[in-house]
Amino acid sequence: MLSGIVLGTVFGIGCGAVSGLVPGIHANTMAGVLLSLQALLLAWFDPVFVASAMFSTLVTHTFLDCVPSTFLGIPDADTSLAVLPAHALCLEGRGEEAVRISALGSAAGVALSLPLALAFVLVLPSLQPAIDWGIGLVILAVAGYLIVVSESPGWALAVFAVSGILGLFSLGYAFLSWPAGGESGVLMPLLSGLFGVAVLLKASHGAMPAQHFPGIELPRDAIRRGSLLGSAAGALVGWLPGLSSATANALLTSVVGYDSNPREYILATSAANTVNAFLGLAAFYAVSRTRNGVMAAIGALEEMPPATAILLAGAMAAVGAYLLTLLFSRTAGRFSGLNVTSLNYGVIAFVVCLSLFLCGPFGGLVLLLATAVGYVPSLVNVRRVYCMGAIMVPVMAYSFGLA
């Protein structure tokens, strides 16, 4: 079994590197490919190899998805808000620092997720019915708080409501999109329009400043606080149904501002992203709930391996992914001197083509509408976090049985 775990981990790290570094490809996509090749893989390997590869892909993805969001400004479904401070640091010449902070946050998330998973498995299954009922109330309370403390509550509510309606429309009519993107493929044009294209259209011009790395400018207290807050948010969305790392990003803005504390916010969201993966596995084994496509793929295997084997694979994958993330952070220097305007337009063209490829004309429509909505916060001087209504409103509707 140990050889299957090790080989599956190495294979999964490779798959996770592809999904993390190539925008538009998610770990769920790679897990689906592995599941379709199950019969072929089982002819050579045991089931623990396949399961280890799937979970290692997910863990590696949570480490490396910060690279394209930092250097190119393209948000992944799990890094929608984190792309704002990370790409801003890159435009200040601190891209490598942003990626290294993200890697540090993910590593802290791995260390904290293992005891959290054990505690959740022992305590929460008996409380699951009450927890399921209260999800919408928690999200509603957080959204209400964020709107009330806004500089302009009226505009904040308007942006939140309109983006929420757009989210309901996009997810409700996702069946109109092409199957290439999978069931949740519409999230790519939705979040890319709100947090990618809309931001790049307003981005600075000129040449990319020289990239340098003098060190991580983050006090130890901020590292501890960000790690704990991010892990708590990741544990929450990892266990509760209907939530995702994008929801954790929005929750964290109520305690860590991405504009006032960008480095701590990057660290916290990265920790949340990785903890979400591990707690999703715990929820799968404890209460048989699938929180993402990777868990669904593992559940579809002909033989379920023990949870300890998959957790071991995830821990080993985290070590490899951390080293890979540090390696790719050094590519920041290649962006020095690039024309920012040309780079932004090139990224926008890539996002448009990718949206059309994954979701067809419907994806193009969603991207256009999301870009228009995402452009509003900069015009009325409210934070872009209120665009997270596109995720939070559908989650509330699902929790209250309205969708």
For 170, residues 6+ apart whose C-beta sits below 8 A from its C-beta are 186, 187, 189, 190, 366, 370, 390
212, part of any domain: no
| Mean pLDDT, the chain, integer | 82
CA nearest neighbour of 386 among 236, 198, 204, 216: 198
User: In the predicted model, is pLDDT for residue 157 greater than 80?
Assistant: yes
3-state SS assignment for residue 306:
coil
pLDDT digits (tens, 9 = 90+) for 298-329: 777 777 788 888 999 999 999 999 999 999 88
211, part of any domain: no
- The predicted structure's pLDDT at residue 176: 87
Per the DSSP assignment, residues forming a β-bridge with 207 are 339
Is 391:244 a contact under the CB 8 Å cutoff? yes
The band of 201, judged by pLDDT with boundaries at 50, 70 and 90, is confident
Beta carbons within 10 angstroms of residue 303's beta carbon:
10
User: In the predicted model, is pLDDT for residue 369 greater than 90?
Assistant: yes
283, part of any domain: yes
The band of 248, judged by pLDDT with boundaries at 50, 70 and 90, is confident
Distance CA(149)–CA(144), nearest Å, equals 9
Distance CA(19)–CA(61), nearest Å, equals 6
The count of structural domains within the chain is: 1
188, part of any domain: yes
The band of 204, judged by pLDDT with boundaries at 50, 70 and 90, is low
Is 281:58 a contact under the CB 8 Å cutoff? no
67, part of any domain: yes
Q: What is the mean pLDDT of residues 70-90?
A: 76
CA nearest neighbour of 235 among 91, 130, 120, 134: 120
pLDDT digits (tens, 9 = 90+) for 373-395: 998 988 888 888 788 888 888 87
- The predicted structure's pLDDT at residue 372: 94
158 is in which domain, residue-wise? Answer: 2-206+217-399
CA nearest neighbour of 235 among 142, 75, 110, 126: 110
- The predicted structure's pLDDT at residue 130: 65
Q: Decide which of 89 and 121 is more confident.
A: 89
- The predicted structure's pLDDT at residue 287: 73
- The predicted structure's pLDDT at residue 133: 66
Cα distances (angstroms) measured from residue 251 to each of 103, 128, 287, 288 = 21, 21, 24, 25
171, part of any domain: yes
DSSP state of 65: T
Distance CA(204)–CA(255), nearest Å, equals 28
Q: One-letter amino acid identity for 336? A: S
Q: What is the mean pLDDT of residues 335-344?
A: 72
pLDDT digits (tens, 9 = 90+) for 52-61: 998 999 999 9
233, part of any domain: yes
The band of 78, judged by pLDDT with boundaries at 50, 70 and 90, is low
Q: Decide which of 141 and 325 is more confident.
A: 325
CA nearest neighbour of 310 among 135, 122, 34, 59: 59
DSSP state of 76: P
267, part of any domain: yes
Tokens describing residue 213: 């790395």
User: In the predicted model, is pLDDT for residue 181 greater than 60?
Assistant: no
pLDDT digits (tens, 9 = 90+) for 14-42: 999 988 887 767 776 677 677 767 777 77
Q: What is the mean pLDDT of residues 119-139?
A: 71
Angle between helices 27-36 and 47-64 (to 10 degrees): 160
- The predicted structure's pLDDT at residue 225: 93
- The predicted structure's pLDDT at residue 205: 63
Please compute, for residue 81, the number of CA atoms within 13 A of its CA located in the half-sphere on the CB side: 34
